[in-house]
Amino acid sequence: MGKRALVVDNDRLCVEMLGDILRREGYTVSKAFDGMEAMEMLQREPPDIVFLDLVMPKIDGDRVFHYIRSHPRTCHIPIVIVSGTLVEDARDALDMKADGYVAKSRREQFEQNIVTALRRLRMGEAEGGREILGLENLVPRHKVKELLAVRRFSQTVLRTIVEGVVEVDGLRRVLFANRACLEMVGRPELDLIGIPVTDLLTAEHRGTLEAVVAAFLGGSGASRDAVTLQYRDRVLRITCAWISPGDAAQGFFMILRDVTDLTRKIDELSALNARLQAMDRMRSELLTMISHDLHTPLTAIKGSLEVLLYEAVGAELRRELLGIAQKNADRLFRMVSDILDLARIEAGRFQDRRETFDVLTTLRGTIDRLHQMAQDRGIVISLTAPRGPLTVSADSLRIEQVFTNLLGNALKFTPRGGRIDVTAEEREADILMTVADSGVGIPPEHLDRVFDRFYRVPLPAGSTVEGTGLGLSICKAVIEEHGGRIRVESQVGRGSTFFVTLPKRGAGAAAPPAAG
Ligand SMILES: Nc1ncnc2c1ncn2[C@@H]1O[C@H](COP(=O)(O)OP(=O)(O)OP(=O)(O)O)[C@@H](O)[C@H]1O
Ligand SMILES: [Mg+2]
């Protein structure tokens, strides 16, 4: 088995760097990030050499050093002190009689000094323990304190900001990840330190992160080109920025912004915008249709009146013209009432008229009223329903209006000899009513639109059916206002079935408050 080295330092960057160097020198490397951890590892499995930092939180290097030296199992293990603050303490440090001293410095030089220290140890060169390699790079302790204060400050800032920040070294490895980043990524800090930054998320995101980093390093280094990606249930926006512009070796920051809410809001806004556009289109279509539909009966009325006023007409023609005028005035009146109805329903101005009633009674009443008309047209209407009442809390006049229009439509669009089957049944949460006819049916491309205002399926040339195309839009508005649903299934030439549900007792938009 190869030689084993234990590296003890709270500075993760240094641990990783030293680990790399030692592995290249043929060592198997264990890492301890504080004195406590180091002592545990020493007890468990004494290594062949220890690289020890002196200044660590909790248990510091001095104590670890004495621990190693004073235990029979470990006292023979060579110790190389690795430190960034040996200047003032150089004499004390050398008095410790370690087997080597290496000052922390930039990578290449650090590597060289470590290799030298190892070589001296191998050769048994005694002066190895009397010289601090890389001393010229050491920073005076007060300077370190200042630097540490700056670092603490920037770490506090990094900790508190909402952006995820990853510090990446010159070799694209993660040195530090702030709390926001750990939360976004959903991985513990120890999983991230030392890994390539492109492995920050999952394997399937690696390609994207590689592209982000390559674009950043290859380009001007401007972080304008943000990349947005989906990570688990979040949307992350990723940018990079140099730690020290002009010095790529210092590495860079990768910045992650959680834009999930923003993305959702944008989606909502686009949906809203699409709806507004659709409504705007509908409004202009509506205007065209209203003006057309109002124009036709008005023209008929105007024409009749003009003839009556300016021309001498016989009694019979006079009657006929007045009949035309009256019929068209009726039509206009119905249309205007429907439009007003629709406006009123949509403004929700009928809620106070809710009452508890048996919807089956209303349905039977509607069928009875239309019975004569059906008989005249040779159409049979049947009703299949339970015996007992089907109670709903609703505006009974409006519900009756819905049945009248559905049955009226079925009668209008069913040829002589056909049939209309009406059903009503109670289900767990609602009451389902269907009106099925054996009529002409609705072509599939029009199915979606029959509930639109003024929409009528074009009729074959030559045939006429009364109507303005408002009935179903009123039905839909009424049913939905009551918390129910209406839909249609149809086959051309075979007939149509309308399905209506109503919540059992006034569930839905404006349920009356419970008594008491
Ligand atoms: N049972 C049905 N069979 C075939 N087509 C239907 C049926 N019900 C509705 N339609 C189609 O849907 C269109 C819209 O129906 P809606 O009830 O809204 O208007 P209308 O009956 O034409 O006029 P209004 O009800 O305002 O007097 C109808 O013109 C027709 O083309
Ligand atoms: Mg109708």
Q: Where in the chain is the domain with CATH 3.40.50.2300?
A: 3-137
Q: What is the DSSP letter of 31?
A: E
Note the pTM of the prediction, 2 decimals.
0.49
User: Across the strands, what pairs with 242?
Assistant: 252
Please compute, for residue 175, the number of CA atoms within 13 A of its CA located in the half-sphere on the CB side.
18
User: Across the strands, what pairs with 82?
Assistant: 102
Q: What is the CATH number of domain 351-503?
A: 3.30.565.10
Tell me which ligand sits closest to the C-alpha of residue 435.
1
User: Among the atoms of ligand 1, which is closest to the Cα of residue 456?
Assistant: 29
Contacts of 111-119 with C-beta under 8 Å, sequence gap 24+, read 111/21, 114/18, 114/21, 114/22, 114/25, 114/80, 115/21, 115/25, 117/80, 118/25
Rg (CA), the chain: 43
Task: Give the residue ranges of the chain where pLDDT is below 70.
Answer: 1, 57-59, 85-92, 125-130, 135-142, 144-145, 220-224, 348-352, 506-516
CB 14 within 8 A of CB 25: no
Q: What is the DSSP letter of 440?
A: S
Residue to mutate, 332, 450, 486, 492, ligand 1, most ligand atoms under 8 Å from C-beta:
450
Element (H, E) at 294: helix 260-310
Q: What is the DSSP letter of 222?
A: -
User: Among the atoms of ligand 1, which is closest to the Cα of residue 338?
Assistant: 26
pLDDT-above-70 percentage for the chain: 90
pLDDT at position 141 is 61
Scan for tokens 């104590």, then name that residue.
63
- Look up residue 137 and give its amino acid: N
The average confidence (pLDDT) of the chain is: 86
User: Among the atoms of ligand 1, which is closest to the Cα of residue 465?
Assistant: 22
Q: Where in the chain is the domain with CATH 3.30.565.10?
A: 351-503
Which residues, including other chains, have CB under 8 Å from residue 488's CB and lie 6 or more apart? 442, 447, 450, 496, 497, 498, 499
Residue to mutate, 345, 370, 409, 473, ligand 1, most ligand atoms under 8 Å from C-beta:
409
Q: Where in the chain is the domain with CATH 1.10.287.130?
A: 268-346
C-alpha 491, offset from chain centre: 39
Residue 335 tokens, joined: 């249309």
Task: Residues 3-137: name the CATH superfamily.
Answer: Response regulator (3.40.50.2300)
Q: Where in the chain is the domain with CATH 3.30.450.20?
A: 161-258
Query: Which residue owns the Cα nearest ligand 1 atom 9?
Result: 409
Give dist(CA 462, CA 205) in Å, integer.
Answer: 64
pLDDT at position 510 is 44
Top CATH class of 161-258 equals alpha beta
Cα 130 to Cα 101, 126, 137, 314, 497: the distances in Å are 8, 8, 17, 136, 99
SS3 112: helix
Residue to mutate, 448, 451, 472, ligand 1, most ligand atoms under 8 Å from C-beta:
472
Give dist(CA 307, CA 284) in Å, integer.
Answer: 34
User: Across the strands, what pairs with 437?
Assistant: 420
The reply to whether ligand 1 has any atom less than 6 angstroms from the CB of 410 is yes
The reply to whether ligand 1 has any atom less than 6 angstroms from the CB of 110 is no
The reply to whether ligand 1 has any atom less than 6 angstroms from the CB of 401 is no
Burial annotation 305-338 (CB, 10 A radius, 16+ → b, else e): eebeeeeeeeeeeeeebeebbeebeebbeebeeb
SS3 319: helix
Scan for tokens 């013209």, then name that residue.
321
Tell me which ligand sits closest to the C-alpha of residue 496.
1
Query: Which residue owns the Cα nearest ligand 1 atom 17?
Result: 471
Give dist(CA 190, CA 197) in Å, integer.
Answer: 13
Architecture category of domain 268-346 in CATH: Orthogonal Bundle (1.10)
Q: Cβ atoms within 10 A of the Cβ of 68, count?
A: 24
